[in-house]
Amino acid sequence: MENTETKKKSFNELINDDTPVLVDFYADWCAPCRMMPPILHELKSAMGDKLNIIKIDTERNPDVAIKYQVRGIPNLILFHKGQLLWQQAGVVRMPQLQQIIEEKLAQ
């Protein structure tokens, strides 16, 4: 999912970037969270370089989860140039997810 360039940047650098970022907050013990990777791979294939996707383990990064009020997981947050454009808890299917992202970026 992440390319090497993405790994070198901090979370704040990534979400303030010109490229929109979809953040998937998850935990290893969360069964619904395991449904997201194939959906996110399909989304990345469809959107390519127009979207970066990163995964944040809420167990290892509780401060980030608290900052963005992640109460349920999986929890998806779309950022663009530091702005939180959209947030939703639960599994979102690929066609719906792509549509939401494209609509939010067009606003």
Edge to edge, the sheet with strand 75-80 lists 52-57, 21-26, 75-80, 83-89
What does the alpha-carbon distance between residue 25 and residue 55 come to, in Å, rounded to a whole number? 6
The one catalytic residue in 33, 51, 70, 77 is: 33
The one catalytic residue in 27, 30, 35, 89 is: 30
Catalytic (active site) residue 33:
yes
Task: With H, G, I as helix, E, B as strand and everything else as coil, classify residue 42.
Answer: helix
Catalytic (active site) residue 30:
yes
Residues in the chain: 107
The residues annotated with a catalytic role in the active site are 30, 33
